[in-house]
Each structure stands twice: as structure tokens, then as C-alpha cells.
Structure 1
Amino acid sequence: FGSSCCRLKFHPGCGSRVRQGQNPSRLLVQTHPMDCPLGTFIGQETSLIEVLNARVPASLELQDGSVFHGFSFGLEKSTTGEVVFNTGMVGYPESLTDPSYAGQILVITFPLVGNYGVPAEGRDPLGLLSSFESDQIHVKAVVVSDHSWEGSHYTSRTSLNRWLHQHGIPGIYGVDTRAVTKLIRNHGALLGKLLVQSDATNSALQFEDPNLTNLVASVSRREKETFSPPDGEVDDHTYMTSIGQDVVASGAPEKHWHILAVDCGIKNNIIRYLVYRLRLKVTVVPWDYDFTQDEFDGLFISNGPGDPQMCFKTVDHVRTVMQQRPRLPIFGICLGNQILALAAGASTYKMKFGNRGMNQPCIDMRTTRCYITSQNHGFAVDSKSLPPGWMPLMVNANDGSNEGIIHHQRPWFSVQFHPEACAGPTDTSFLFSQFVRNISEPMYTGVTTIPCSMPPIYHKVLVLGSGGLTIGQAGEFDYSGSQAIKALRESGITSIVINPNVATVQTSWGLADRVYFLPVTPDFVEQIIKRERPDGIMVTFGGQTALNCAVELEERGVFQENGVQVLGTPIKAIITTEDRELFAKAVETCGYKVAESACCSSVNEAVAAAAKIGYPVLVRAAFALGGLGSGFCANPEELRSLVQVSLAHSSQVIVDKSLKGWKELEYEVVRDANDNCITVCNME
């Protein structure tokens, strides 16, 4: 009954043992967790139907009348709240304990949740729970497609089901979470009720909008609390998520500056980041604490749940500090972005369904750099309402909503996302460094300018096509090339395609402006360039054949002679990646190493190289399609035979050290001129 539940002889979701009983139609349950439906039948013979009937039915009812049926897990009780969704694949212990989810029924879109269990509730030297964002679960309920009754991870100490039950949180599984998410996406955030059949209070339960209450007051600490950096070195991996950039070295001073952090629902990792990574003394105060007369070096406004308009006391206190101490650095995160905007005189609004997930793209308006961020909010700042002196700092690349604000002259700024979450994983750590520098250098004003450059206008572009394709060969170049041609057409640029294969998408009637059914060779391409006089050429959509052709044309000086600009990947970069020795040197400059290899142009050179590297070796033809003339060789005889074949396809072969037995992770990354990177795909 579910991908992580019962099987005839083994129940992988919880590590149980179930065998066939004396009656072939019955099952004998030998061992099983008690919180799983099978656990009620330990030592008994039962049928799969009886096991299925042991589940407690539950349903998710939405305000628009939609009903989704499933089964209860966690605590068997009914509840109500605002239904929202999170697109993260992992991180459910952190999400469920995030105070920003207070009052909400969380739909987790990943199909299987709980497969790595829940870690122990141990505390770090600051007294904070080391693996969670707060001391309790803040969601009203959890909605999943399926969940694992037992976790499999070295840090796991309990299951998701038992953890929810211990904290009094209900859940429902067996729900089509994709359908729920699409409904919310189209309709907007909806109020919902999770109804458990065994709960007698179902009939009296009414829809309740949590945003009509002051959620911040319910999650904020009641007393002021101070955290100081420990003496000596700190193991960042113990207290922080993985991060490579040393923020401390890029801006933190020797003395421990004193930060006052307003707790609107502050996450544990934010406190750890400020104290451990930035070495700051942090005093955390309740949301309604009057800090206008306190002494501190910088003001931090935390994340939190609900409508920022409910935090009127915090807004008033921030506004007073801005008026009394205009040189005091202020930094806000998530709800802190909205509070700072309200204090400045701007307005906020409720979003259709909010941004909640780990891969929200945000564009820095000062540099046009795009960053991958972690977010959890249902309200946003209206950028059009910002008063004079303020400007948008970040903008969401998906929906265009505000992701941060900054003052032109004052050291005040905030972001809507969570830079401490390390979604990038180091994308936005510079924001903390900027905050510390605002404190340590009072006269510092960060000024960023975008170099003025007018991109050249192209009228006609030549596209080197994918060439001949046979059965078994990948057609990704034909697909990507056809997309490039469509993009050229949308931009009003004339496209010329050279491709010898009539049976490709690139050569479809009406797609390109002109098609030459000729081989992609240097001589033919040069003739077409002289005839068509294009001002640009695309060489990366024709596979290895087009790359080889482009390299030779560059060496001949054809592009420079005819005024043709290579668009996309420069020829120099192509040569560097194709030449094994140049590639190895380039990788070494980044501090990494590649497998030992050698480039050879004859059989004898290959034999000598293999003897030096050691068998087995991997032989590949250079400047050729992947797999062409390649293979593993365990001895000189196999090597001589394969190299002769490889040299028939290429003038050079590459002899690599065999890495059989190692796991290979491959990422294909695209980068633009602004250093924005996108991982197109990854493989193991």
C-alpha cells in the first residue's frame, strides 16, 4: 500500500520481515515497527486486505470545495490552516521546524518523504538544537504523497511518523501532491482542513485564516538572550551547512561587534551563522522589545511568519532607529525585508501562492548576476511604493517580485530570501560580509556600477548543423540547433544553416531562412561565408564535426579575414577543452587534478605512454564523437589493436588512466557573460 510500504516478503519502508503463513493466502508478520499498520499484526497471520483496512482514513478539504483522500500518519487529529507547498527534495526536518511555516499546512511536492529519518535533538554549545531551525515543529500539518516508516541515514534517530506524533502534529499520505500543487498554483493559497476519520471533532472544525492573527507573537522568544562567539577555532561543518567561501576573512573585524537581532521567528542557523561564521556577539530580543535606546553596532531583522502588517511594534521601533541613528547598519532577511520596507514608508501585499523552495533565482539589480536562493514567504514588498532614496536590490527572475531593497546612501539593506541557507551554496554569503563591513567601516558605502557596453547588432548568422545522424546516435545537437534557429528568428536575425542531413529538425521547411545541404567541412563553410557574408557564426550546435571545422577555420584566419564573429563559446575555449594537455593545465590552475593521461599520435607513443601510466588504460580518439574509437585496454596487444582503429578517425589519441570502480559524477554547466551558471543536467 504505497511505494515505501508492504511487500509480500519484505517491507522496505521499515525493515520488517513478513513471510507466507500456513495458509498460502495469509501473511505471518514476524517483526515490524509498532507505528506502521503492519505493526498491529506482529505474531499473527493476516491478509493484505486486513492490513490495508488497518490504516486510518483521512482527507484534505480545501476552501474551494476540493477534497483529497488519503491516510493518517503522525498524530491522529484534525486541524485547519493555510495550505502551501514546498518544492524542496530534502530538508524536511529544517522546513517543519521553520517558524515561518507557523499556521500552515505544508504540502511537500517530492514523492517520498522521510527516507533519511529524523536526527537526534542534540544541542550545540550555544544551546540551540543542532539539526533543526527551532525547538518545535511549527507547521499545522504535513501532506505527502508517500512516506517511509523508517529512515536510512547514519544521523537518523527516529522516523518522520514517530517524530510528528511526539510533537502532536498530524499528517496525511496517499495524496496526489502534484494535483494539490497545481490547484494552489492556479487558484492561489487556499485555506484547508485535514480531517482524520477517527477524530470526533471533525464536524465542528471550521476554516481558519492564520494570517488574521499575529503569528510572529506566537513564535518569537519571550525574553532577551545573548550569544557570544566561543574562544578558539570553530568546526564550521559541525554547526553550519557546507560553505566554501570564508566570509570571516572577507570582511569580519578582529573585535566582536555587537548585533541586536529582532526575533520575528529567527532560525537557529541564522544565529549560528552570525556567531560562528562572523564572530559577532548577538543579542536576540522579542519582536515587540523596545530597542530604540539600547547600545549596539548593527541591527538585524529576522525572518518570520504571516502578514508583516501585524508587526506594527517592530516597524515602529525600526523607523525610530532609522530616524535617530541614520548611520547605524541595518540588515533584514525574509520578513525583515518587509519590515524594513514598511519602516521606510513602502507597502507590502499578499502573493498569489508565495515562494517556498530551494531554487528560486534572484537577480542582483546592481550587477545583473543571478543567484540561486532558498525562500519561504507568502508576502512581498511592492517595489513601486519605495520612497525616494530607496531602490530594489534583488528581483525574482521567475515572477518579477521584489527580493530585496537598499538605500542609496544609508547602510540599510535587506533581502527576501535566506542567504544563510547556502542554496548556491556560496552564492549570497557576500551579503553577510557587506553587513559586517558596514559596521566595521562606518564611512564605507558600497558602490557598484555596471560597465556601459552596447552589444553588437547582428543581421545574418551562420549555424553549423549537426550533420549526419544514424540510429543509436544522440540527437541533442539537432534539438539545440533548432532552438538556436528559432531564437534567431525571434530576434529578427537571418539564419543560414549548413547541414548535410535532410532528415533533421534543423533543416525543416520554413525554420531557417536558407539551408545548404553540404558537408560541414572547412572548405565548404569558407565558400558559404564568402558567398553569404554573415557577421556571426554559431559553431557549438553541430557536435564534434562542427567544433573541429571551426578550430581549423580559426587557424586559417577565415573568421578574421571575413569579419565573422564567433558567437557563444570562444574558439580558444574549445581548443583548451579539446586538447587534453591544455585542459589539464587549466584545471590545475583551479586547484584540481585530472586523471593521468597522455596525448599520442602513433601506436608506439601510445604503448610507451600506457607503460608509464600503468594498465588498464582508457583509449579515446581526440576531436571525435564520444565513444568513437575508444575502449579499455588491459595489455599492450589490446592497446596496439585499438589505437590503430582510433588513429583512423583522428590524428591523435588520448591514453587515460583507467578509473574503473570509481563513481563518476558529471555536470553540464552553461555560463553567460555575467558569470551566471545553470546546470543543464547531471549524470552518475
Structure 2
Amino acid sequence: MTSPNRVIPGATGVLALADGTVLQGIGVGRVGHAVGEVCFNTAMTGYQEILTDPSYMAQIVTFTFPHVGNVGVNLEDVEQFGREGGFGGARTTARGAIFRDVPTPPANWRAEAGASGALDAWMQARGVVGLAGIDTRALTKLIREKGMPHAVIAHDPDGNFDLDALVAEARAWSGLVGLDLAKDATTLQSFTFDEGLWGWPEGYAKPLPEPKFEVAVIDYGIKRNILRALTSIGARATVLPATTTAEEVLSRKFDGVLLSNGPGDPAATGEYAVPEIRKLVDSGKAVFGICLGHQMLSLALGATTIKMDQGHHGANHPVKDLETGKVEIVSMNHGFTVDRDGLPDAVQETHVSLFDGSNAGIRLKDRPVFSVQHHPEASPGPTDSLYLFDRFAKLMEAAH
């Protein structure tokens, strides 16, 4: 890690941290700059799903896996529902990406043909600023020791950077605490989704002719694979804006409600979402929360949330189910956590992270309501916890 006060000859990309540290390397993707919080992700696959996950909104993702780009990109693996021209862009997903090596050309049968299948060109089209050729292990160590820094990532093919101005911009950024990003990530109007999980060689599954369940999905920044997992248990998913009221949901006779993942501070989004979640819980409906949905459900039940120093970002996180004793390897992506020491008496802790002991799941003792911090739909990651969607289906069946 260095703190140069000048641009190194040949550098076309930089990362300027708020503490004055500047990393210089090779620019990738969009020309320009973006400010955000730098995190690291330990997944060994799934860079496209990671970069299109709305939960990474306002963040710059450092990939610890060195080989990125080799499987190319395609339309099937986009996780975001975007407002900007169909699949959206970096405004509502990750703002930047950092790699050890320059992304390699695609060599995979699922990659799109031509330049559009290459990660660099795809990042340019989506507006994601990238930086390659730096010591990602050193940056990861810095984050582990000092927390996720505010930073500006910049790319200029001519190497023209005002390093002092970039550091000043990083210092001036207010950060994620108190920031409601779900209002920008959510859908603007309701829609239904009927695509199932992917399988070889058929691709994405077709929906059942007649759905078993009608599920309301409150969209705080939903991933597509959550909806595919719902469809695969026989549900028809109706996606609703983050500001949808409980009265609107209950008037439509849904069998259950899913509170989705999403970006930002749960306490900020909870200003308008938590009162509605309380009403949904009180209605007796089956409720399932994932990630941000888990955090805001916890707030609605009387718990509190805390900003984490490093967060959990990866597809290799061990989580223990406290009720069965089973250990699952799961996908995680969050920078806030539920304070497990402040859980109300009516709430049972169901899952815990074996990395740091933080909360990873809850349920209500007397109602069909539960949630998890991790991502049972994976994408990317293992499917050890995919059974949680079946658990949701059983709760909806029992409520009939």
C-alpha cells in the first residue's frame, strides 16, 4: 500500500481512499469516476451476479479471487431489475470493481458472442468503473483491520488524475449510515414473475400452469433468483414497490409476503417500511425476510441493527442452524447486522454466523414469520439453504 502524491507513469486507473492512500493500476470498464464504500468479496465465481446485485448499490467491490472475466457475461445471469434501458446500470448496483489482474477474455459456452460477452466491454456499457493490477490481498487486509473505507475509483486512459481532489471527494462522502437506497432500487410499479430456477440442459424452468400460492414480494432491491426460487415452489410472485402499504397487500388476499434484499441502511428504509411490516406480521400472514428484509423485520419486532466494520460478502460463509445443529455454507452480502443481544423475548434466534458469531436468522415463536441474513437463493453461491423456500411454502399451506 502506498500513498503517492503523483500519478505513476502508465497508470490509467486509481483508487483514492479517504485516509489519503492511493492505489494505482490499470483502468477497466467505464471511463470516469465513482465514489462509494469499498468492500471485499471472497466468492470464487459469479462476478456478474455480484456486480448486478442491487444490494451492492453505492459500493466498490474488491474481488479476492484473481481470475475474473474468463466465463464472460450474458443476459441470463443479470440479477437486477433495472430502470435504465431494461437491465439498468451501476446507479442501482455496484459502482465499481477492483481486480488483481486485468479481466481475461471469455472462454465459456454461455458467454455472449463478440465483444459484448467480454467483461470489460460489459462494464463500459453498464457504467461500472474498474481498476486492475493492484495488490487486492493488501487492500483486503486493510479492510479487515480498519473497516470498509470511503473511496473514489477512477479510470482515465490518458492517466490524468487530480489525486488530491479524489481523496477530498472520498472524505466528503457521507457513507451508507442513514442512507435509504431502497427507494432508488425498487420497482416503480407492480409486476408478476414466472421464471423458475436454472437447470442443465433446459435453462430456466417454466412455471406451473396453476400456481399453488400467491406471494407478495416487497421489493427493496430484489434479486431475480429469489423470484425464481419462489416460482419453483409453485408460487406466483407479484413484485410490489418498497412503499406499498400493508393495507394494499392485505386487500389482495396473498398467501404470504416476502421481504426482499436490498441496499442501504435498514433503519433509514425502515422509517416507512417498518410500520407496514408490523401490520403484516400482526395480520397472521406467513412472512419471509431475506437480507435487508431480515433486518427490517427484526426492527419491526423490536430489535436493532448495527453497521459492521467489514461486512459479510462472499459465497463461502458457514452458518449454523441452531434448531437442527446443521452447518450450511451460504452466500452473504450485507454491511449491517441485527444485534443478537437485543432480540425481544418473542423472537427466537435460528441461525448464527460461524465466522464472527453475528446473527443470521430469526423466527417468531407464535406466528408464521421468519427471516435469514444470508441468501438462500445463492446466485452466486451454494444452495445449502434453498430449503428455506420450502419452509415458507409449508407455512403458507398451514395458514390456509
Which residue of structure 1 aligns with residue 192 of structure 2? 226
| SS of 2:331 mapped into structure 1 | strand
Contact 1:373 1:422 in 2 (8 A): no
Which residue identity is paired with 1:182?
Answer: K
Deviations 1:150-194 (A, max 9, x none): 211112122111111111221111110000000000111110111
1:81 aligns with 2:36: yes
Q: Is the 8 A contact 1:100 1:304 kept in 2?
A: yes
Q: Partner of 1:367: helix, strand, or coil?
A: coil
| Alpha-carbon distance change, 427 to 168 in structure 1, aligned in 2, over 3 angstroms | closer
Identify the match of residue 322 of structure 1 among 275, 281, 293.
281
Hey, what's the Cα distance between the residues in 2 that align with 1:416 and 1:338?
Answer: 7
Contact 2:361/2:372, CA 8 A, preserved across alignment: yes
Against the structure 1 CA distance between its residues 91 and 422, is the aligned structure 2 distance closer, same or farther, given a 3 Å change threshold?
closer
Alpha-carbon offset, residue 235 of structure 1: 7.1
Bigger drift between 327-336 and 193-202 goes to 193-202
Task: State the partner residue of 1:306.
Answer: 264
Describe the superposition over 1:97-150 as per-residue Cα deviations: whole angstroms up to 9, x where unpaired: 00000000110011121122112x2xxxxxxxx221012341111111112342
SS at match of 1:132: coil
1:271 partnered with 2:227: yes
1:162 is aligned to: 121
Q: Find the residue that maps to 2:138 and give its secondary structure.
A: helix
How many equivalent pairs are there?
Answer: 367
Alignment of 1:203-282 (within 5 A): 204-205=165-166, 206-207=169-170, 208-211=173-176, 212-228=178-194, 236-237=199-200, 238-239=202-203, 255-275=211-231, 277-282=232-237
Q: In the alignment, what sits opposite 2:353? A: 396
Cα distance in structure 2, aligned partners of 1:60 and 1:422: 28
- 1:145-224 equivalence runs, <5 A: 145-157=100-112, 158-197=117-156, 198=159, 204-205=165-166, 206-207=169-170, 208-211=173-176, 212-224=178-190
CA distance in 1, matches of 2:381, 2:314: 13
Residue pair 1:210, 1:306 contacting (<8 A) in 2 also: no
Deviations 1:577-596 (A, max 9, x none): xxxxxxxxxxxxxxxxxxxx
> 1:115/1:229 Cα in 2 relative to 1: closer, same or farther (>3 Å)?
closer
Q: How many Å separate the matches in 1 of 2:204 and 2:50?
A: 16
Q: Secondary structure at the match of 1:432?
A: helix
Unmatched tracts of structure 1, length 5 or more: 1-51, 122-129, 242-247, 444-684
Structure 1 contact 60–192 (Cα < 8 Å) conserved: yes
- In the other structure, the counterpart of 2:45 is 90
The answer to whether 1:358 aligns with 2:304 is no
Q: What secondary structure sits across from 1:349 in the alignment?
A: strand
Gaps of 5+ in 2: 1-7, 81-86
Residue 133 (str. 1) matches residue 79 (str. 2): yes
Match of 1:288 among 238, 243, 256: 243
Given that 2:16 and 2:163 are in contact with CA atoms closer than 8 Å, whether structure 1 keeps it comes out as: no
Is the 2:38–2:149 contact (alpha carbons within 8 Å) kept by the matching residues of 1? yes
**Residue 348 to residue 60, structure 1, CA distance change in 2 (3 Å):** same
SS in 1 for 2:247: coil
The TM-score with structure 2 as length reference comes to: 0.86
Tell me: CA distance 1:239–1:154, structure 2 relative to 1, closer, same or farther (3 Å). closer
Change (3 A) 1:280 1:421: same
Deviation at 1:210, TM superposition (A): 4.0
- Contact map agreement 2:257 2:288 (CA 8 A) in 1: yes
Where 1:118 maps in the other structure, the secondary structure is coil
Query: Residues 330 and 356 of structure 1: is their aligned pair in 2 closer, same or farther, counting only changes over 3 Å?
Result: same
Q: Radius of gyration: which is bigger?
A: 1
Aligned equivalents of 2:314, 2:132: Cα separation in 1: 20
Q: TM-score if structure 1 supplies the norm length?
A: 0.51
Q: 8 Å contact 2:37–2:148 — kept in the other structure?
A: yes
SS at match of 1:112: coil
Cα deviation for residue 380 of structure 1 reads 0.5
String of CA shifts for 1:601-646, please: whole Å, max 9, x gaps.
Answer: xxxxxxxxxxxxxxxxxxxxxxxxxxxxxxxxxxxxxxxxxxxxxx
Relative distance call for 1:430 and 1:161 in structure 2 (3 A) is: same
Aligned with 2:78: secondary structure? coil
Which AA in structure 2 matches 1:270? I
Give 1:118's match in structure 2, choosing from 57, 69, 73.
73
Q: Flag the structure with more relative contact order, 1 or 2, with Cα contacts below 8 A and sequence separation at least 6.
A: 2
Match for 2:367 among 410, 417, 441?
A: 410
Maintained 8 Å contact 1:60/1:68: yes
> What pairs up with 1:322-341 in 2 under 5 angstroms?
322-323=281-282, 325=283, 327-341=284-298
Give the match for residue 4 of structure 2: none
Structure 2 residue aligned with 1:349: 306
